[in-house]
């Protein structure tokens, strides 16, 4: 009997309810950890909050204006010897989506703050000579004071860096609806030196043709960036570009710019130039041929593109 009693004496912590003539053995009840229940829900909420905040940031309805400067400087020259022979005012609003670029003639005669009247492309040169490193900011202030457009940042690229960038992408394809830059109507594949020569060609043309060709190249580069076959080349291309670019555009603005360009597409970019009908030829006292802006014509373009 004593031996049987030991058999039926449950050990501490065991529960042995009777079911007929048999005994069931269960483990001690362990309460569920409330934190484990909350973790999946909390992760989902955090993910939704992060996604929502990212969408709000990327698609925020505010506008960003970026001044792009193509600088003609040879490797042996100092920055003070450079002039911004290409000036493009880029504006974008990812939400709409809207992306526009306005090309400005380099010979436009304007007031350069602190230096007086001069060609607009001299702003970088004059400011760098007076205070090294301040050329791009002087270009921004010149555009702000003359065009009445708030410019948020600049991007300056040397022409030699542009050549390396195009080559790193494997070249660029252009589709011409009219003969220009030494090329016939149709599709042409250009390497880096050819792309730069196409933009800068002066034979039988003027700055207005150069600005149009510059926009053709920009559109073609946007098209190239959207083609999956070029994506493996982008790490090298961006590294090449980074070595030739100076900019104060915050890093958090780059995704917004990329989204605006992708959503608009190359054919959706609003490309305009300050054309012949918006300027008047003028000769300065020093005998320089320049272009006087006709603000009544230019302001209508600014209103349509920048809302001001």
- Identify whether 31 is part of a domain: no
What is the average per-residue pLDDT within 211-222? 91
- Better-scored residue on pLDDT, 77 or 213: 213
- Identify whether 106 is part of a domain: yes
- Better-scored residue on pLDDT, 288 or 20: 288
- Identify whether 251 is part of a domain: yes
Share of the chain above pLDDT 90, in %: 43
| Model pLDDT for residues 57-66, shown as the tens digit of each residue | 555 658 889 9
- Identify whether 249 is part of a domain: yes
pLDDT at 3: 46
Q: What is the CATH number of the domain that holds 233?
A: 3.40.630.190
Domain that holds residue 264: 64-306
Cβ–Cβ contacts within 10 Å for residue 155, how many? Answer: 19
Distances (CA, A) of 105 to 37, 52, 102, 138, 231: 65, 42, 10, 17, 33
| Model pLDDT for residues 30-41, shown as the tens digit of each residue | 555 555 555 566
- Euclidean distance between CA atoms 137 and 112, whole angstroms: 12
3-class secondary-structure state, position 80: helix
| Model pLDDT for residues 4-31, shown as the tens digit of each residue | 444 444 444 444 444 455 455 555 655 5
Q: Which residues contact 153 (CB under 8 A, 6 or more apart)?
A: 64, 66, 67, 140, 247, 248, 249, 250, 253
- Identify whether 207 is part of a domain: yes
3-class secondary-structure state, position 27: coil
Q: What are phi and psi of 221, to 5 degrees?
A: -70, -35
pLDDT at 40: 66
Domain count, the chain: 1
- Identify whether 19 is part of a domain: no
- Euclidean distance between CA atoms 59 and 92, whole angstroms: 11
| Model pLDDT for residues 94-105, shown as the tens digit of each residue | 888 888 999 999
- Euclidean distance between CA atoms 184 and 207, whole angstroms: 19
Supply the pTM of this predicted model: 0.77
Which of these ranges, 143-147, 202-206, 238-242, 281-285, has the smallest mean pLDDT?
A: 202-206
In contact, 222 and 173? CB cutoff 8 Å: no
| Model pLDDT for residues 140-169, shown as the tens digit of each residue | 999 999 999 999 999 998 888 899 999 999
Calculate helix-pair angle for 254-264, 207-226, nearest 10 degrees: 90
- Identify whether 296 is part of a domain: yes
Query: Which two tokens mark 160?
Result: 């030699």
- Identify whether 5 is part of a domain: no
């Amino acid at each position: 009997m004593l031996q049987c009693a030991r058999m039926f004496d449950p050990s501490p912590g065991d529960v042995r309810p009777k079911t007929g003539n048999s005994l069931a053995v269960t483990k001690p009840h362990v309460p569920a950890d409330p934190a484990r229940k909350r973790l999946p829900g909390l992760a989902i909420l955090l993910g939704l909050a992060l996604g929502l905040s990212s969408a709000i940031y990327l698609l925020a309805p505010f506008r960003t204006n970026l001044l792009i400067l193509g600088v003609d400087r040879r490797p042996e020259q100092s920055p003070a010897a450079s002039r911004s022979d290409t000036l493009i005012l880029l504006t974008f609003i990812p939400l709409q989506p809207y992306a526009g670029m306005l090309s400005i003639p380099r010979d436009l005669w304007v007031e350069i703050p602190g230096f007086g009247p001069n060609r607009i492309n001299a702003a970088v040169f004059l400011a760098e000579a007076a205070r090294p490193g301040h050329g791009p900011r002087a270009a921004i202030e010149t555009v702000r004071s003359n065009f009445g457009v708030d410019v948020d940042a600049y991007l300056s690229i040397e022409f030699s860096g542009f050549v390396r960038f195009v080559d790193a992408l494997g070249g660029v394809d252009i589709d011409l609806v009219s003969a220009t830059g030494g090329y016939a109507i149709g599709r042409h594949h250009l390497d880096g030196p050819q792309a730069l020569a196409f933009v800068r060609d002066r034979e039988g043309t003027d700055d207005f043709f150069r600005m149009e060709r510059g926009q053709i190249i920009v559109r073609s580069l946007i098209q190239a960036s959207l083609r999956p076959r070029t994506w493996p080349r982008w790490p090298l291309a961006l590294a090449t570009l980074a070595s030739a670019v100076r900019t104060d555009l915050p890093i958090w603005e780059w995704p917004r710019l990329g989204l605006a360009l992708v959503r608009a597409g190359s054919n959706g970019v609003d490309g305009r130039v300050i054309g012949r009908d918006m300027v008047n030829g003028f000769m300065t006292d020093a005998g320089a041929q320049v272009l006087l802006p006709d603000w009544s014509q230019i302001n209508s373009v600014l209103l349509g593109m920048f809302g001001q």
